[in-house]
Chain A
């Protein structure tokens, strides 16, 4: 007979090591998939994980992809730590992009150092307001935030579609579904000539530090922690549960909105239909792979960013579809959840005595 039992105390170091184990298992699983597809697994994995970052341009691309992933995941950690399941970061990113992009278009051909900060701020506010919809519906009407936040992603996507095809489309753009290119003052400064890495990375790093400060050193962080562990206790301690739900959604939405505005003012430079390759969804994996811990999330975002790059290289060199990247992301989450299960529960094989059969 098999019996599953909860483990009482899980050591902290193993808790942070299991994500590493999950990554190795993913590599192993990926190797098997490549083998079945008829490739030499070692070679294929090299194309996937080593080649993309073997030069300076590749490293810069890695940071370009990790910047939004890390930022969104940091925001999500506030929600997840307090048992609020915001899975609509993609929508909050897009809405932040829409608001920021709208402001950028408003300042078209406008000079002034204040243009970019205003755009960034409006993007953050956009994401924040969009995230408040599921939060307010949850607190006042008892709706399920998972459904509401997810469905709002499609609302944001369709709104963006409408805007870039219709009212905001480039007047000189031959009816392509995109807006004008933003002017120079509305773009994130590039850090090195010839590379795409931009100043958005500083926004991400500042946010990582602020989040660490809030989560571990403030009363708000303490309340988030207690509510995440036991809602009953939070209620007994007298924490304002509703206010807190709204605050964590606001933080999370603002981070996603910042990521969106970072993308459109950084590498993209305009609004079009696909401003995000599902960063908002992938960031959920990043948040859990990083154990909802700010430092862990930095590392996790780099690894997951690599799957984006690897998929592109693999498409070029191995002629496999770039969706392989999503297969890898899926595997990471699968193995992480699998090892977590074994981490928190132990499986006992009980031998039955003869007379009990």
Chain B
């Protein structure tokens, strides 16, 4: 019998953001479905709803035409919906078999027979009696999959399963998934990797900003067309007046930037080179998870890499930490404004003091000069129209937009020569977005430079003078913004090359 899973008019609203906006989708077993979207597009929320972790505000889920309630992960299991998360939920020091028996109500002997059958059927090679910590990432994932298979799932949801796998492991996974699908399990595959969608899936649903923007057969799609659907392709927004910087002074030059991480969840960077002129805005586009985070941290000095040369205003700064780089008039606005750029439990003026300059005398002779910090904070609040004048307020009580204005204000009030920002308008409302965009245009007009790392193509096209794309830790050729087309960006974001 075919399994049919249907979500109907699902909505989920979080304070300040609509995660799912009347999402309706239908899945039938025998096909492999892709759910494609950027970080924050709402696909994780939808998956959490399907696995019982989050309850929707509105809408219903139907399994084989029967409405089902998913109030807890247990309900999802009862309805035979299996889920493999991106981060593994395994006890490292327990053996594979112990991990499997923990949440199974079968007798150990029966379970072992069942697991051995599964291993044989799908040609998995895993020793059941060694501790999980000795397994590779791919094998750990197989343990998670076996855990689902024990329960005879009708639906198997895979959340970004290949982010920690090697290419060989990815190929193996795809073979298994195709086999599961043949055996009648409905597979929903969540990803932002376009090539995987084309090589594995039959149908693809694209989500953007909480909505389903397209459902189509993968045969009819190409990498570029999917990329455009994912990030939006409206090119008719107002653009900044693009200047020619050929003769301007060079302010930043990065050569031979390489970064290799021990953390399998991070992206390695390969031989990045770029330069930036005075007054220019360089946009760095790309689908999230391609190395943007690592690049930002290297620019800010949170990560120091060997052998990289970063020349800023003719000084070598590659070995300096973020505070020392600020003294050379660099400023940074990270993506995570809530728990990195500011500390929610700290008061506004204390968060302002995070950005400490020798010349601002916040800490004279090592002592806190609270009066000076507060004056400075007041100035930021009024100059950058933050919706409060109470510097004693804890910053957790600021809305996202006001918090971002505070952070941008803190970074800009010292007139830096270069601002590096990473998704500065992520999750903000239209008013705040406009304010931030105007501010970023203004600093370029004042002859200050900026690097804008963003996953929002509209934003990049509106603000950048030149744009390049980061893909799998490599930078594409840098193109002038006025010759950028949606098609070109799409090709680059999917890993293709132009010219």
If A226-B354, A238-B321 touch, whether A220 touches B336 (CB-CB below 8 Å) is no
Q: With contacts A219-B367, A238-B323, A239-B323 known, is A230 near B340, CB below 8 A?
A: yes
For the complex, give the distance between the alpha carbons of A352 and B55 in Å. 13
Cβ-defined contact, B363 with A238, below 8 A:
no
Contact A219 B355 (CB under 8 A): no
Judged by a CB distance under 8 angstroms, whether B334 is at the interface is yes
State how many residues of chain B have any CB contact under 8 Å with chain A.
33
With A237-B323, A238-B324: A356-B368 Cβ-Cβ less than 8 Å: no
The answer to whether A238 touches B301 (Cβ under 8 A) is yes
B340 & A233 in contact (Cβ 8 Å cutoff): yes
Q: Closest CB-CB distance, A340 to chain B, in whole Å?
A: 16
A217 touching B341, Cβ below 8 Å: no
Task: State A355–B323 Cα separation when bound (angstroms).
Answer: 58
Which residue of B334, B345, B350, B368 is within 8 Å of A236 (Cβ)?
B334
> B475 to nearest A CB, angstroms?
23
Interface SS majority for chain A: helix
A229 CB–B CB distance under 8 Å: yes
Contacts of B396 in A (CB 8 A): 8-9
Is A218 interfacial (CB-CB < 8 Å)?
yes
A355 neighbours in B (Cβ, 8 Å): 69
B302 neighbours in A (Cβ, 8 Å): 235-236
The answer, yes or no, to whether A232 is at the interface (CB within 8 Å) is yes
Q: Does A222 contact B (CB under 8 A)?
A: yes
* Distance, CA A8 to CA B344, complexed state (A): 11
Counting residue pairs across A and B whose Cβ atoms lie within 8 Å, the total is: 70
CB-CB contacts of A1-15 with B at 8 A, as 1s and 0s? Answer: 100000011000000
- How many chain A residues have a CB neighbour from B under 8 Å? 25
Cβ–Cβ < 8 Å partners of A9 in chain B: 394, 396
Give the complex CA separation of A238 and B324 in angstroms.
7
Q: Which residues of B contact A220 (CB under 8 A)?
A: 366
Q: Which residues of B contact A219 (CB under 8 A)?
A: 356, 363, 366-368
B53, CB-defined interface residue at 8 Å:
no
0/1 per residue, B318-334, Cβ < 8 Å to A?
A: 00011111100000101
Nearest-Cβ distance from residue A225 to partner chain B, whole angstroms: 8
Report A-chain residues with C-beta under 8 Å of the C-beta of B368: 216-219, 221-222
**B10 CB-CB contact with A under 8 Å:** no
- Given A1-B71, A219-B368, does the pair A236, B300 have CB atoms closer than 8 Å? yes
A237 to B346, CA, bound (A): 14
A240 at the B interface (CB under 8 A): yes
* Complex Cα–Cα for A315 and B195 (A): 76
CB distance from B398 to the nearest CB of A (A): 13
> Chain B CB within 10 Å — which of A1, A9, A232, A356 has the most?
A232
B310 to chain A, nearest CB (A): 15
Chain A, Cβ-Cβ closest to B75: A356
Report A-chain residues with C-beta under 8 Å of the C-beta of B355. 237
| Interchain nearest-CB distance for A8 vs B (Å) | 8
> Chain B residues near A352 (CB, 8 Å)?
71
Give CA–CA (A239, B345) in the complex, Å. 18
Least Cβ distance of B108 to chain A in Å?
31
Within 8 A of A (CB), among B148-183: none
List the B side residues contacting A239 at CB < 8 Å: 323
Q: Give Cα A178–Cα B345 distance, bound, in whole angstroms.
A: 51
B356 touches A356 (CB 8 A): no
Q: Which of B284-311 contact A (CB under 8 A)?
A: 300-302
A9 to B368 alpha-carbon distance, docked (Å): 26
B342 at the interface (CB under 8 A from A): yes
Given contacts A222-B363, A232-B336, contact A240 B321 (CB under 8 A): yes
* CB atoms of A218 and B300 under 8 A apart: no
Across the two chains, which residue of chain B brings its CB closest to A214?
Answer: B366
CA distance A233 to B352 in the complex (A): 12
Neighbouring B residues of A356 by C-beta, 8 Å:
69, 71
Among the interface residues A222, A226, A232, which one has the most CB atoms of the partner chain B within 10 A?
A222
A218, B367: Cβ atoms closer than 8 Å: yes
User: In whole angstroms, what is the CA distance A352 to B342 when docked?
Assistant: 39
- Quick one: closest A residue to B354, CB to CB? A237
Complex-state Cα separation, A216 to B332, whole angstroms: 27
Tell whether, in the assembled complex, residue B363 and residue A218 are in contact, meaning their CB atoms are under 8 Å apart: yes
Task: Give the docked Cα–Cα distance between A222 and B72 (Å).
Answer: 42
Does B353 have its Cβ within 8 Å of any Cβ on chain A?
Answer: yes
- Note all chain B residues with C-beta closer than 8 A to A235: 302, 322
Evaluate contact between B346 and A226: CB separation under 8 angstroms: yes
Q: B343 in the interface, Cβ–Cβ < 8 Å?
A: yes
In the complex, A240→B350 CA distance in Å? Answer: 18
Task: With CB as the reference atom, state the residue of chain B lying closest to A239.
Answer: B323
In this assembly, does B388 line the interface, its C-beta being within 8 Å of a C-beta of chain A? Answer: no
CA distance A197 to B166 in the complex (A): 68
Q: B368 CB to closest chain A CB, in angstroms? A: 5
- Asked whether, in the complex, the Cβ of A236 is within 8 Å of the Cβ of B322, the reply is yes
Complex Cα distance, B367 from A232, in Å, reads 24
Please provide the chain A residues from 203 to 218 with a CB less than 8 Å away from any CB of chain B in the complex.
216-218
Residues of chain B contacted by A216 (CB below 8 angstroms): 368
A352→B69 CA distance, assembly (Å): 12
Complex contact A229–B346 (CB within 8 A): yes
B residues 240-265 in Cβ contact with A at 8 Å: none
Selected contact of A238 from candidates B326, B334, B366, CB within 8 Å: B326
Smallest CB separation, B404 vs chain A (Å): 15
Is B339 positioned at the interface, with any CB of A under 8 Å from its CB? yes
Contacting residue for A233 out of B321, B342, B366, CB 8 A:
B342
User: A301 vs B302: C-alpha distance in the bound complex, in angstroms?
Assistant: 40
Of all chain B residues, the one with the shortest Cβ separation from A237 is B354
Residue picked from A226, A238, A356, most chain B C-beta under 10 Å: A238
* Residues of chain B within 8 A of A233, CB atoms compared: 339-343, 354
Would A230 and B339 be within 8 Å (CB), given that A237-B354, A238-B321 are in contact? Answer: yes
Give complex CA distance A216, B353 in Å: 14
Complexed CA–CA distance, A240 and B340 (Å):
16
Contacts of A240 in B (CB 8 A): 321
A229 to B342, CA, bound (A): 10
Task: Report A213 CB to chain B, min CB distance, Å.
Answer: 9
Interface residues of A in 181-219 (CB under 8 A from B): 216-219
Alpha-carbon gap, A356 to B321, bound state (A): 55
Interface centre among A9, A220, A222, A236 (most CB of B within 10 A): A236
Give the shortest distance, in Å, between B209 (CB) and chain A (any CB).
27
Closest to B336 in A: A232
**Binary contact readout A297-326 vs B (1 if CB under 8 angstroms, 0 otherwise):** 000000000000000000000000000000
CA distance A8 to B345 in the complex (A): 10
CB of A265, distance to nearest CB on chain B (Å): 32
Contacts of B350 in A (CB 8 A): 222
Q: List 11 A-B contacts (CB under 8 A).
A: A1-B72, A218-B366, A219-B367, A220-B366, A229-B345, A230-B340, A236-B334, A237-B355, A238-B323, A238-B324, A238-B325
Please report A residues at the B interface, Cβ cutoff 8 Å. Answer: 1, 8-9, 216-222, 225-226, 229-230, 232-233, 235-240, 352, 355-356
Residues of B within 8 A of A (CB): 69, 71-72, 300-302, 321-326, 332, 334, 336, 339-343, 345-346, 350, 353-356, 363, 366-368, 394, 396
Q: Which 10 pairs of residues, A with B, have the shortest CB-CB distance?
A: A238-B323, A238-B322, A219-B363, A238-B321, A237-B354, A232-B340, A229-B343, A230-B343, A219-B366, A235-B302
Contacts A233-B339, A233-B340 supplied; 4 other A-B pairs, CB < 8 Å: A1-B71, A9-B394, A226-B346, A355-B69
